[in-house]
A and B are shown apart, each in its own frame.
Chain A
């Protein structure tokens, strides 16, 4: 099982993402000009400030050669996870619906939040159960999920909402407390909270590991290995 973690100028969570992936399998960095994802089963687009967040967060990164390869990877039904800035990049690329706007408070938020698993059928949540509550940190200034009303309804109906902030935990004013969404096939997932920062009880929680474990189960074509209560 091999993970590929994208690295743009301005990425800053690539190292933590790499370490998280290595708890589950092999992992290597993929520089933004690389067009080759040969041998990579799971793509992770990490957080940070790709291209300085110029214009809009994620707007420039979508044109990177590596993103064309990611689009092909996604089209082939293989798993792609975008975290924070990676989520913004996936929305800007059109691989996920919606957009992420400046937090309602205009402030950068950095705190541990609880999120609830809404769809346990995606490539990154199949080692969870619907209703599971995960403790994962957020740290962002543009994380307010937005989609036009009709698109939001369609998203809800098809189970596209993967994670929702637990009641009282919405840090940014996201519509319907949405913390993560998936494409229709469930192989492309974007989340604002950082599962790669929640992989060890020493730093507060290892709930984030379940997203990476899910990808392994999915990419390996296995049934879920186990579902923790």
Chain B
């Protein structure tokens, strides 16, 4: 089964990447954009979707500083 894991910095944690993106936007003419947060997306295929949460806790995300969301693409490959 295909799955996507979306990982982002926890709320309240300073995200300098997001800040840098936010500061760059007005120079390109994009005004009014705020609260930019930069995370990452992991795509994977798994035989055992039930283990995904544990996999996220142990490796893909650091639960101390990151939140994650798992999105399963039902129907398999």
Contact = CB atoms under 8 A, between A and B. Distances in A.
Contacts of B1: none
Contacts of B59: 55, 59, 63
Interface stretch (A95-103, A162-170, A179-187, A199-207): A95-103
A56 interface: yes
Nearest to B14: A104
B65 A99 contact: yes
Contacts of A103: 16
B33 interface: no
Contacts of A63: 59
Instruction: Give the size range of A's interface with the partner.
Output: 10 to 19
Interface in A40-54: none
B62 interface: yes
B17 interface: yes
Contacts, number: 29
B60 interface: yes
Contacts of A31: none
Contact of A99 (B16, B20, B60, B64): B64
A106 B14 contact: no
Interface in B14-61: 14, 16-17, 20, 59-60
With most chain B CB atoms within 10 A of its CB, the pick from A56, A103, A146 is A56
Interface of B: 13-14, 16-17, 20, 59-60, 62, 64-65
Given A105-B16, A106-B17, 10 more contacts: A56-B62, A59-B62, A92-B62, A99-B64, A99-B65, A101-B14, A106-B20, A146-B13, A146-B65, A148-B64
